[in-house]
Amino acid sequence: MRGFVRLIVLLGLALVFVAAAYALLVYQPPFAPIPQPQRQSFDPALVARGAQLAAIGSCGVCHTAPSGREFAGGLPLPTPFGTIYSTNITPDHDTGIGAWSLAAFERALRRGVRRDGVYLYPAFPYDHFTLVSDDDAKALYAFLMTREPVRATAPAPRLPFPLNHRLVMYGWNLLFLKPGPFKPDPAHDAIYNRGAYLAEGLGHCGSCHTPRNIFGAEKADEKYSGGEAEGWSAYAINASSPAPVPWTAATLLQYLRHGFNSDHGVARGPMLDVAGNLGTAPNDDLHALSTYIAAQIGTPAAPTPQVEQQVAVQGARGKAVAAASADSQAVPAQGSGASDGGDEGALIYAATCSGCHSGPRAAPFGGIDFALSSNINGPSAKNLVNVVLNGLPATEGKRAPIMPGFANAMDDRQVAALARYLRTRFTDKPAWTDIESSLTDARTALRASEGKPGRSSAAGSTRPGTG
């Protein structure tokens, strides 16, 4: 009997302990709704600064659905755990953030907790935004609260148990959220530290460029060694960068500003939208960002002779006259890609790709020379397969590269033969092992997108039915 009482007492104590822990640690109080702030109450200079910061954070890339209103949310974000939909961050009182105070906004940004106290999922990169300074948070708030309110409710996330319970994110935050503010590294100068603040914080480069662990958190010890985003492979931007010509701060600056650099080719996939946003950022910020990322990549060993030769050819291409086109389209020398079904791939390359990719037109009007391509030199065939199938669809209202897709003209065997050939001919890297799985994924995404309005960035929702 005494044992029974003791058990009851112990259970009661445990319950009290759990309740106290919940109240003290897990529970997040709601912020009271505020009347929607008047536009005129925000300093125009602060709003303008907020616009630049929102571009650096690429807020609109995720918070805008295909053919949807800007910042109104609703974009499906596929994750390994399920699909999450971006939310409405326009200042609509009922469905957006119109009722959010600055304090509520800052908590969401830096701690991943909604105004009503509900935990957000880290598909929203608050693990990066936690570093955003007070001044920058204020400017972002001013910018978002002065956008046009749009009435739109995002679909509920589709996640399995136990992830459908948002409280689980308390544990995730405990393990993986390293709260800010940003601490500058005294070993580096102000520009480097400014770049670090932007890249690690608002820019959230690591969200795509760092691989994730089984909990979906970035692996701290593999920072910037390449990740995945929306069906695309995001290249390593540290010492293992696959770029045949090493990146420099100057080439990065041009790439981020214009979405293009002649040593590296064009931004596409989700990076096209990111570059489109960064292109509007102030030069000082972009310069700092490029300086920091270039330092992460470092200065690798001299390029291989193969690349040096290609760079020389690339340089000559710009000066070549149109008459060269007949030669440049000739079938490459027999045997250059003889291993692994190279002959069919060689024919496909020569007949389909070389007209633009080794023709007389200088980049960006001609395609990238594949010897320079991070894609062909990278560890995954994913991006190549995406581009061959979907091409680079024209982007609405923006200047951007174009390429027709070959999803309907080439069957999987032909795409695979082409991929194997390009890998053998233009690199000395080992054969890809993910060509077939990339094809399956890209075809599935393409079928799912049929009949839906185009969005250039995601392989899963590109315009259907291009040649």
Partner 1 sequence: MKLNVNKAQHDVDADPHTPLLYVLRDDLKLNAAKFGCGLGQCGACTVLVNGEPVFSCVTPIALLEGKAITTLEGLGTEDKPAPIQQAFIEAQAAQCGYCIPGMMMRAQALLQKNPRASDAEIRAWLEPNLCRCGTHMRILRAIHRAQRIMTTAQRGEAG
Residues of this chain that interact with partner 1 (CB under 8 A) are 329, 347-348, 350-352, 391, 393-394, 402-404, 406-411, 414, 450-454, 463-467
Q: Phi first, then psi: what are they for 228, rounded to 5°? A: -135, 150
Nearest approach in angstroms of CB 448 to partner 1 is 13
Rounded Cα–Cα distance for residues 297 and 240 (Å): 7
- Residue closer to partner 1, measured from CB, 10 or 330: 330
Closest-CA residue to 79 (of 9, 17, 8, 172): 172
Determine contact, residues 120/113, Cβ cutoff 8 Å.
yes
Cβ proximity to partner 1: between 258 and 452 the closer is 452
**Minimum distance, C-beta of residue 67 to partner 1, in the bound complex (Å):** 9
User: What is the smallest separation between the CB atom of 331 and partner 1, expressed in angstroms?
Assistant: 8
**77 or 394: whose CB is closer to partner 1?**
394
CA angle 12, 13, 19 (to 5 degrees): 90
Provide the CA 159 distance to its chain's centre, in angstroms: 21
The tokens describing 123, both together, are 């598909």
What Å distances lie between residue 110 and 122, 165, 305, 421, CA to CA? 11, 21, 47, 47
Buried b / exposed e across 108-133, counting CB within 10 Å, b at 16+?
A: bbbbbbbbeeebbbbbbbbbbbbbbe
286 vs 384, beta carbon nearer partner 1: 384
Least distance from C-beta 416 to partner 1, angstroms? 13
- Kindly tell me which of 251 and 462 has the beta carbon lying closer to partner 1: 462
Do the Cβ atoms of 129 and 53 come closer than 8 Å? Answer: no
Q: Pick the closer one to partner 1 by CB: 53 or 403.
A: 403
CB of 420 to partner 1, least distance (A): 16
Q: Round to whole Å and give the CA distance between 457 and 278.
A: 15
Q: How far is the CB of 458 from partner 1 (least distance, A)?
A: 15
Query: How far apart are CB 396 and partner 1 at their closest, in Å?
Result: 10
Decide whether 237 or 348 has the Cβ nearer to partner 1.
Answer: 348
